[in-house]
Structure 1
Amino acid sequence: MGSTKQTTLRLSDERHRLLDEAKEIGANGQYDDPPNSDVIDAALTHLIESRENLDAARGEIDPTTIQLFNTSVLGLRYRTSIESRWR
C-alpha cells in the first residue's frame, strides 16, 4: 500500500468563493454537496485535459480559433519568427 500525502488548505475568501462556485458546477442537482476533494480532483483533471485538447488541436485548427478557448488559467501563444539561412 502506498503512502498518501495530506495537506491542509487555507482558504482565503477568494478561494472559498471559487470552491463554492466550482461545487455548483460539479454538483449533481440542487441538493448535492460534493466534497472539496472531489471538486479539486475534477478541476485538476479538467485543467490537464484542456491543455491536452488544445495541444492536440494545434495544426488542425487555425491559431486564432484556438485562442478563443484561452482562459486566464490556460492559454496558448503563437509566435511568428523569421529566420534567415543566409548570413
Structure 2
Amino acid sequence: MGERTTLRLSDERKHLLDQASDIVASDPSDDPPRSDVIDAALTHLIESHENLEDVRDKYPPGEVKDCCNTSVLQLRYRTSIEQRWR
C-alpha cells in the first residue's frame, strides 16, 4: 500500500468515522483524534480476522457464519469457508 498524506472524506466515510468515534470515546464529552479511531478500527479488523482463523476448524461453518458474518468479512459456505475482502 502506498503512503498518503491526505484522507478524502466522503459524507459516508465521515459518518462512519463519527460512528466509530462514538464507540472509541471514553465518555460523551470525549472527542478522540481520528488517528486513534482509525487505529482502533484497523486493530479490530485484524483481531477479527485472527479470531475467525482460530475457530474455522473448531466449529461448524454455519455456527461461525452466525457469529462472525459482517459486511467487511463476508463468508460464503460450501464445503469450506472463503473470505472475500472489499
TM over 0.5: yes
TM-score (ref. length: structure 1): 0.81
Corresponding position: 1:9 with 2:22: no
Q: Which residue number in structure 2 is paired with residue 84 of structure 1?
A: none
Identity of aligned residues (%): 64
Q: Which runs of 5+ in 1 are unaligned?
A: 82-87
Give the unaligned 5+ runs of structure 2.
Answer: 81-86
Q: Give the CA deviation at 1:7.
A: 1.6
Count residues in correspondence.
77
Structure with the larger helix share: 2
* Structure with the greater alpha carbon radius of gyration: 1
Which has a greater percent of strand?
A: 2
| Residue 6 (structure 1) shift | 5.1
Which residue type is aligned with residue 14 of structure 1? E
CA-atom RMSD, angstroms? 1.5
Structure 1 equivalent of residue 73 of structure 2: 74
TM-score by length of 2: 0.82
